[in-house]
């Protein structure tokens, strides 16, 4: 099969790396890709939301399957575009249709869906500019901290958690009146704060059956001890020790299965990865958010733990016979540490030469914001998150130690990484 992967991060490098190992794969193209995807396939400078250009490319290169990494093309309807096109409608797209991608694209939609189908989540109400005063009154009825969520996609920045009531009211006003997050905050979901520990659960589904993928935990804040600004993700570990068998049974019974039956009931066609951002409160799971894709940087620790042929599983998704497929998981622990550019997540430096990668040992390197500089035949930093270093070892401690040892070997000016991943799991 010829496979096109859309996206350019560490997640897409991990997908391309895994897909390249399949005997079913002929050619892999990654649009737009990065320095890492260029090692396992062919990069093509494509905009992931320019569906007409994608169509031309798919026809020209005789692509047999499109795997969508990020959420934006899914929410914008890439799968629908393929289904409606007479030439493309036989080419499977891994990722849901736009209406189903609303699970991530609209927090209000996701909340209504969960409430309708009895899926545990924080109590909430949604407000618009016309109901601003009601929103302020609702805030008064809650205890701090106050959780405000822009309804639409906001690159992971649309959630505010505030301790002070007046500040929460004025942020609500700025979201609704001044469009603080643009169109994404035309509606704002205010929800109850859940005290607990987060984890990321992933499935692959053909819309009816599903395969549970390894459970992971990501680390979002820039600073150690989960302090400082939010980032795209500073690392991940898999598995998660507190996601015990009995807890995961609750997750499957109360969250995963009701979500799939809810999707079917509402005739929402879902083929692809589904990501449940969960909070474990006491021993009970609650959904914080749905994402219609794999997580990043979770993919960098989850995908290397899948022993089975990913292309075979994706074919099961596309053909609706996932139930017939087997998934085998590596028992070892994965740790993935993300190396970032100086200044990130604020304004950061780029164009720094990356050295030392030939000296890495017993790890997998997934590039993210890194590109090939043909003029100097070197790889240079080109983004905030530059790469993830993933290790697989017999214990989490060993995996982390190994990842940090390799993170020290990579060298680029201004390199930073968190050295405390897994600190909350001991
Ligand atoms: P989201 O963009 O929905 O993942 O939210 C960003 C982060 O805000 C989450 O990863 C949580 O750490 C936090 N968060 C979101 N909703 C809640 C909630 N109801 N209670 C506590 N923390 C939350
Ligand atoms: N790691 C969280 C996300 O991918 O949204």
Q: Is the CB of 235 under 6 A from ligand 2?
A: no
- Atom of ligand 1 at shortest range from CA of 288: 16
Nearest CA, atom 7, ligand 1: 159
Of 123, 267, 136, residue with least CA distance to 193: 123
Nearest protein Cα to ligand 2, atom 2 = 295
Nearest Cα to Cα of residue 335 among 404, 417, 397, 390? 390
Distance 286 CA to ligand 1 centre (A): 11
Burial per residue of 17-48, b for 16 or more beta-carbon CB atoms within 10 angstroms, e otherwise: bbbbebeebeebbbbbbbbbbbbbbebeebeb
Q: Are 234 and 222 in contact (CB under 8 A)?
A: yes
- Alpha-carbon gap, residue 167 to 174, rounded angstroms: 10
As a whole number of angstroms, the distance between CA 175 and CA 184 comes to: 9
Distance 288 CA to ligand 1 centre (A): 6
Q: Which long-range contacts (CB under 8 A, 24 or more apart) does 41-44 make?
A: 41/5, 41/16
In the prediction, which pLDDT does 118 show?
98
The confidence score (pLDDT) of residue 191 equals 97
- Looking at all shown ligands, the one closest to residue 156's CA atom is 1
Domains of the chain in sequence order: 2-99 (3.40.50.20), 123-191 (3.30.1490.20), 197-324 (3.30.470.20), 333-425 (3.90.600.10)
Distance from Cα 203 to the centre of ligand 2, integer Å:
14
* Nearest atom of ligand 2 to the alpha carbon of 236: 1
Q: Which residues pair with 125 in a beta bridge?
A: 190
Distance (angstroms) between ligand 2 centre and the Cα of 298 equals: 7
Q: Is the CB of 104 under 6 A from ligand 2?
A: no
pLDDT, tens digit only, all 426 positions of the chain = 999 999 999 999 999 999 999 999 999 999 999 999 999 999 999 999 999 999 999 999 999 999 999 999 999 999 999 999 999 999 999 999 999 999 999 999 999 999 999 999 999 999 999 999 999 999 999 999 999 999 999 887 889 999 999 999 999 999 998 888 888 889 999 999 999 999 999 999 999 999 999 999 999 999 999 999 999 999 999 999 999 999 999 999 999 999 999 999 999 989 999 999 999 999 999 999 999 999 999 999 999 999 999 999 999 999 999 999 999 999 999 999 999 999 999 999 999 999 999 999 999 999 999 999 888 889 999 999 999 999 999 999 999 999 999 999 999 999 999 999 999 998
pLDDT computed for residue 86 by the predictor: 97
- Ligand 1: residues within 6 Å at CB? 122, 147, 156, 159, 191, 193-194, 198, 277, 288-289
Between the CA of 10 and the centroid of ligand 1 the distance, in Å, is 23
Is the minimum distance from the CB of 296 to ligand 2 under 6 angstroms? yes
């Amino acid at each position: 099969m010829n496979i096109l992967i859309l996206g350019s991060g560490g997640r897409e490098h991990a997908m391309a790396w895994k897909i390249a190992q399949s005997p079913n794969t002929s050619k892999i193209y990654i649009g737009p890709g990065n320095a890492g995807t260029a090692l396992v396939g062919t990069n093509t400078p494509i905009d992931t939301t320019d569906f007409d250009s994608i169509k031309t490319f798919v026809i020209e290169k005789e692509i047999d399957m499109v795997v969508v990494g990020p959420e934006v093309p899914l929410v914008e309807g890439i799968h629908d575009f393929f289904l409606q096109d007479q030439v493309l409608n036989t080419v499977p797209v891994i990722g849901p249709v736009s209406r189903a991608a609303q699970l991530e694209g609209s927090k209000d939609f996701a909340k209504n869906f969960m409430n309708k189908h009895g899926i545990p989540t924080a109590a909430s109400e949604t407000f618009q500019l016309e109901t601003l005063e009601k929103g302020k009154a609702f805030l008064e009825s809650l205890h701090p901290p106050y959780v405000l969520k822009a309804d639409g996609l906001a690159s992971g920045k649309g959630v505010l958690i505030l301790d002070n009531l007046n500040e929460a009211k004025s942020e609500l006003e700025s979201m609704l009146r001044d469009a603080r997050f643009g169109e994404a905050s035309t509606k704002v979901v205010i929800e109850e704060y859940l005290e607990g520990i987060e984890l990321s659960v992933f499935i692959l589904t053909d819309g009816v059956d599903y395969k549970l993928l390894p459970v992971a935990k990501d680390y979002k804040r820039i600073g150690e001890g989960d302090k400082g600004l939010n980032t795209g993700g500073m690392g991940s570990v898999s598995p998660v020790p507190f996601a015990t068998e009995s807890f995961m049974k609750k997750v499957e019974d109360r969250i995963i299965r009701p979500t799939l039956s809810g999707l079917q009931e509402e005739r929402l066609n879902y083929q692809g990865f589904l990501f449940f951002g969960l909070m474990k409160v006491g021993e009970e799971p609650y959904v914080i958010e749905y994402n219609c894709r794999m997580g990043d940087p979770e993919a960098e620790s989850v995908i290397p733990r899948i022993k089975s042929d990913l292309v075979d599983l994706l074919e099961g998704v596309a053909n609706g016979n996932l139930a017939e497929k087997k998934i085998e998981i590596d028992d070892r622990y994965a740790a993935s540490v993300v190396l970032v550019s100086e200044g990130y997540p604020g304004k950061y430096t780029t164009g720094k030469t990356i050295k030392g990668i030939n000296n890495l040992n017993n790890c997998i390197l997934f590039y993210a914001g890194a590109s090939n500089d043909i003029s100097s035949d070197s790889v240079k930093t080109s983004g905030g998150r530059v790469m993830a270093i993933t290790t697989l070892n017999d214990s989490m401690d060993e995996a982390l130690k190994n990842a940090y040892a390799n993170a020290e070997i990579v060298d680029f000016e201004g390199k930073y990484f968190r050295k405390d991943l897994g600190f909350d799991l001991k």
